[in-house]
A = this chain, B = another copy of it.
Amino acid sequence: MKVAAGIDIGGTNSVFGIVDSGGNCINSGTIDTELYDDPEKFVSDVYQDICGLMEQLPAGSSLEGIGIGAPKGNYFNGCIEYASNLKWKGKIPLAGMFRKYVSVPVVLTNDANAAAVGEMLYGAAKGMKDFILITLGTGVGSGIVINGQLVYGHDGFAGELGHTIIDPEGRMCSCGRKGCLETYTSARGIKQTARELLETSNTESILRSVPPESISSRMIADAALQNDQLALKVFDFTGKMLGLKLSDAVAFSSPEAIILFGGVALAGDLILKPAKKYMEEYLLPVYRNKVKIIPSMLYAKNAAVLGAASLAWNEINGNMSDEL
């Protein structure tokens, strides 16, 4: 059996696993990223764990590649560059560190790009050549595919739609600027919208029984599902902000579909419907009723591992088709 390894690196912990070419995650493991001051030691331990997973496979199985999704991962040089949520400072040549152990392709990029390739090979974007994946979670990221290729840009850092600007005088963003899409549509942004609406309106809401600082995005979604008018307003506003910037993104690359991924996207129609409604309203007429907004189809337990492994499969298959 030919397999690839997928590794998703997070600030607290990292997950990794073995994935076959059909996109089935065979086995997996986790490791505490934050325990490692030395990335070389981290790579050594992850590699040992991957070897352990490989030993559980049928005899003759071969590791064909390694895909890594990591914060600030640069495809071109295989480095993690100045990731603020990792202990490792500066430029960390993580792909190169893995290449000391293996001679198969090692591919590194950021987690949103990995998810986009995962959707293209195994998920909601199968068969599509032009689509955009938006991750709505703690932050807001994106992976953009044009003409079947992931967009890296000239420096490897393309695709930061979470940091396109809605209002230059708007909410303070973690990036140091104001009014980024992320400040409105991340989990944190949604919570802020709820707190603001609770403060500035008199709308009845079951959320009023919770201390404002304890309200989670999950609570807001649960309230909205119970037809709580304030919670529904929160999602309407979130969808409006998202729809506005999606209309800009469509004017850029005219994709066939936009795929919503990540924790906030689990709210399903609560976010999909207003996002679609407002996107259509803001779209240039030539694009109207052409662009689907759909949920991720990688919501398996190991979506992040699958996305990372798909980077390796995409590279292997791409090189194979070049040779044919």
| A contacts, CB < 8 Å to B | 72, 128-130, 144, 146-147, 149, 151-161, 163-165, 168, 175-177, 244, 247-249, 251-256, 282, 284-287, 290
Contact = CB atoms under 8 A, between A and B. Distances in A.
B157 A130 contact: no
A164 B248 contact: yes
Contacts of A153: 130, 146, 253-255
Copies of this chain, count: 2
Interface SS of chain A: helix, strand, loop or mixed?
A: loop
B253 A177 contact: no
Contacts of A251: 159-161, 163-164
A184 B80 CA distance: 39
B253 A252 contact: yes
A84 to B, nearest CB: 11
Given A146-B151, A284-B160, A165 B252 contact: no
A151 B153 CA distance: 13
Nearest to A131: B154
25 contacts: A129-B154, A130-B154, A144-B252, A147-B149, A147-B151, A153-B253, A153-B255, A157-B287, A158-B252, A158-B254, A159-B254, A160-B284, A160-B286, A161-B251, A161-B252, A163-B251, A163-B284, A164-B247, A164-B252, A168-B244, A168-B282, A175-B284, A176-B285, A177-B284, A248-B248
